Structure 1
Amino acid sequence: MKISLAPVSYCWDKVTMEHFYQQAANSQVDTIYLGETVCSRRRLLKFNDYLELAVMLKAHGKQVVLSTMALIEAQSELTELKKYVENGEFSIEANDMAGVQVAKQANLPFICGPTINNYNRTSLDLLHSMGMSRFVMPYELSKAWLNQVINHPNKPNFEVEVMGHGFIPLAHSARCFTAKHFGLSKDNCDTICQQHPKGILAQTQEQQNLLRLNGIQTQSAASIDLTQELMVMEQMGVDYFRVSPSSLECLNIVNALANELSSNTEDKVCSPQLSTANSQACNGYWFGQAGLQQV
């Protein structure tokens, strides 16, 4: 099993992004996803900027994947999508069926992102016939569901990736909740989300952390933490353990996970220091329970 780094979900400025990926280039992560997946109005980095980062990361020995938008709403976004698919060098992660269709038309293999609703083996086999080489399991599905997919009578011919650490994207909307929070319209948002590099925490009336507003994306308030399941996933046959970045510190987790996987110990058990087990962590979905629970 390998460690992958999901695309940054937040609106970080160009200097911060470049610094982050310079650090990632020197980390032990195997595969790095790049691209704006949330909102096309975030223009601090453009397509050519991501391409430059991709070339730099490839020179450091990383496998690079360009990630596409999760919600295509306009012709301009479709045009941008085609630029990603037709980049000529790097694989793509399709996060919308438009990305799947464009890749299929170009006869290019693709990775199916977690925002495409794959809920059974039949849909996965269909996507594989269209060119899917790997799929990232939707966040709300469980270990038991994945076992059924992997242990199907016909073994899958595609790779499997599971998000194991980071804030969970729960939904995407045509409305921008961050702009609405500040009394701004979506079309004149001033890219206000760049002032909130981890989104805006939303609480219940009882002051309990509930959600995280990130532009048009709604995330979990707590970070999923499946680091204790690392070896379970490896034994199941999961190919990639995904870490979703919310700060530079996530690279410490990436390196610790990579060290754990490369350990020669016969009975490997995930080291306690890998876990962020506390009130800000959750793992319920993996165990078939409410996502915000910590089992």
Structure 2
Amino acid sequence: MQTTLGPLLYFWSKNDVFEFYEQVAESGFDRVCLGEVTCGKRRELKLADWLELAKRLQDKGKNVILSTMTLLESQSDYSQLKKVCGNEEFLVEANDMGAVQELSSRGLDFITGPSVNIYNAYTLKHLQKLGLKRWVMPVELSAEKLKAILAQAEALGIKEQLETEVFSYGYMPLAYSARCFTARVNKLNKDACEFTCLKTPEGIPLATQEGEKLFTINGIQTMSGQCMNLLDQWWMMEDMGVSSMRFSAHSKDVFTALDGLLTELDQEKPGSGIKIDDQCNGYWFGRTGLEMEQV
């Protein structure tokens, strides 16, 4: 089982980003996705900075992928997309169909992130013809649904041609909007947001009237209110043919979670995984996402 660190979804200062990836370089992650995927106004790092980080991580033996934006809202967003897709050095993860179109038109292989809606193997077969090499299952799908998709892929003769990755640890990206909720909370307009996301590096928690954590607001992105944790499901994923588990960082506790998983993988013995407060795994078991199924 391989491990992937997904793209950073929050807005951190340039210094904090570089410091974080210095630690990533020394970690046990096999694969690292880099780039701004949430909001085109977040420009602490330019493409040249991401490419510099990519080369540093590659020199440390990491397999590096550049990730594209999930919601394109302007011509400048599209121009940035074209630059990322045409980087000529690193494989690209497409997070919307515009990126798929751009990459396939260039004859390039690509990956799809969890925001690309793939719900059956017929979609996988179509994308595989366009250059898809690995896909990340949408976060809301269950283990049973994944089994069905992979069985269908095998029947279509494409299962062995594609790698499958599952979002396994982190706050789940659930929805995107043209509005910026973080700016609204701070009584600011989106076009004059003053980059207020920098003040909430782990997003803004949103609770129900009963005080239950429900969502996390991250600019234009709505995320889960609890951390998805499927680390104790690695053995099931391995049996199903999943090749990689994806981590998403909201703080440096992602390294503790990774170390716990790697220990279990080394021992080749399923355990309890890394447990943290306010976690969930409901989607994987076909239940509401915020539930926690005890295994």
TM-score range, shorter chain: over 0.9
TM-score, structure 1 as length reference = 0.96
Using the alignment, how far apart are the partners of 1:121 and 1:10 within structure 2?
A: 31
Q: SS of 1:290's equivalent?
A: coil
Post-superposition CA distance 1:32-81 (Å, at most 9, x none)? 00000000100111111000000000000000000000001111111100
- Can you list the C-alpha shifts for 1:160-216, whole angstroms capped at 9, x where unaligned? 000000001110000000001111010000010010011000111222211100000
Structure 1: distance between partners of 2:66 and 2:114: 14
Counting only pairs closer than 5 Å after superposition, residues 1-295 of structure 1 correspond to structure 2 as 1-152=1-152, 153=155, 154-156=157-159, 157-263=161-267, 265=268, 268-270=269-271, 272=272, 274-276=273-275, 278=277, 280-295=278-293
- Distance apart, 1:26 and its partner CA: 0.5
% same residue? 43
Q: Any stretches of 5+ residues in structure 2 without a counterpart?
A: none
Aligned partners of 1:29 and 1:255 also within 8 Å: no
Does structure 1 retain, via aligned residues, the 8 Å contact 2:282–2:289?
A: yes
Q: Give the drift of 1:277.
A: 5.2
Residues 3, 258 of structure 1: 8 Å contact kept:
no
The Cα shift of 1:232 comes to: 1.0
Q: Deviations over 1:203-254 (max 9, x none)?
A: 1122221110000000001000101101111111101100100111211212
- In 2: Cα distance, 1:108 partner to 1:2 partner: 23
The 2-side partners of 1:155 and 1:259 are apart by: 32
Aligned residues of 1:3 and 1:257 also touching (Cα < 8 A) = no
Distance in 2 (CA, whole Å) between partners of 1:262 and 1:34 is: 27
Tell me the SS of whatever aligns to 2:216: strand
How many Å apart are 1:155 and its aligned residue? Answer: 4.6
Mapped to 1, the partners of 2:26 and 2:17 lie a distance apart of: 15
Q: 2:80 and 2:172 mapped to 1: Cα distance?
A: 25
Amino acid in structure 1 at the alignment position of 2:86: E
Counterpart residue identity of residue 275, structure 1: I
Q: In 2, are the aligned partners of 1:2 and 1:258 still within 8 Å (CA)?
A: no
The code of the aligned residue for 2:242 comes to V
2:216 counterpart letter in structure 1 = R
Q: Distance in 2 between matches of 1:3 and 1:239?
A: 9
Moved over 6 A (4+): none
Q: RMSD between aligned alpha carbons?
A: 1.1
Deviation at 1:286? 0.4
The one-letter code matched in structure 2 to 1:276 is K
Q: CA deviation at 1:261?
A: 2.1
Distance 2:125 2:118 in 1: 10
Q: Give the secondary structure class of the aligned counterpart of 1:246.
A: coil
Amino acid at match of 1:269: P
Distance 2:252 2:179 in 1: 29
Shift of the 82–155 alpha-carbon distance from structure 1 to 2, 3 Å rule, reads: closer
Is the alpha carbon distance of 1:17 and 1:277 closer, same or farther for their aligned partners in structure 2, counting shifts above 3 Å? Answer: closer
The one-letter code sitting in structure 1 at the alignment partner of 2:287 is Q
Q: Distance between the aligned counterparts of 2:26 and 2:183, measured in 1? A: 36
Question: What whole-Å deviation, never above 9, does each CA across 1:107-163 have from its counterpart, x for those lacking one?
Answer: 000001110111111111111111110000000001011111222223512110000
Q: How many residues align?
A: 289
